Amino acid sequence: MSFEENRTSFISEYLPEVDEKLRSFRGDLEKAMEVDLVEVQLQLNRLVAGLRPIQSFVNRSPSSSSGQSEDRDGKARDILYRFLADKRASLSDIESEYEVMELWGDKLLTVFGESKASCQISTILHSVIAVL
C-alpha cells in the first residue's frame, strides 16, 4: 500500500473508531462527575445501619411464647437470614467498588500532583472533559 492509501485508510477506518471511544469515555467521565463519594459512603452507612435491626432479630433466641408464634418467628428468621446473606454479598460487592473508586480517585489526584485537600476530583474531570 502506498502512503496515500494508508493515510486514507487511517482517516476513514481508525479515526472514527477512536473518536467513538473518546466520546464514550467522555460520557463516562461526565457521569462520574455527578458521583459524590461522600454521598455514596453516607448511603452505604445508612444501608448497613438499616440491616442491623434485622440481624438483631435473626440472632435473637426464640421467645417462650405459643407454638404458633414460635413457628411464625422461626419462618420469619429463616426468610430474613436468607435476605441478609444475599444483601451481605451485594454489600461486599458495593464496598469493593467503593474502594476501587477511592483508589482511582487517589491515583488521578497523584497524576495531577494534587491531594484531596487541595483539589476536588470533579475539577480534574472537568478539565479532562474540556480537552476531549
Q: What is the pLDDT along the chain (132 residues), one digit of tens a residue?
A: 788 888 888 888 888 888 888 888 888 777 777 767 777 778 888 888 888 888 888 888 766 566 677 788 888 888 888 888 888 888 888 888 888 888 888 888 888 888 777 777 777 777 777 776
Tell me: do 44 and 8 sit in the same domain: no
Contact of 76 with 60, CB cutoff 8 Å? no
Tell me: do 11 and 71 sit in the same domain: no
Instruction: Give the whole-angstrom CA distance, residue 25 versus residue 8.
Output: 25
Tell me: do 18 and 42 sit in the same domain: no
**Residue 120 belongs to domain spanning:** 36-131
The cell numbers describing 113, all together, are 500532583
Q: Alpha carbon of 3 to those of 8, 12, 61: distances in Å?
A: 9, 14, 80
Tell me: do 10 and 44 sit in the same domain: no
Tell me: do 119 and 55 sit in the same domain: yes
* Whether the predicted model's global pTM rises above the 0.75 cut: no
Instruction: Give the whole-angstrom CA distance, residue 75 versus residue 67.
Output: 12
The cell numbers describing 84, all together, are 441478609
The cell numbers describing 71, all together, are 413457628
Tell me: do 9 and 59 sit in the same domain: no
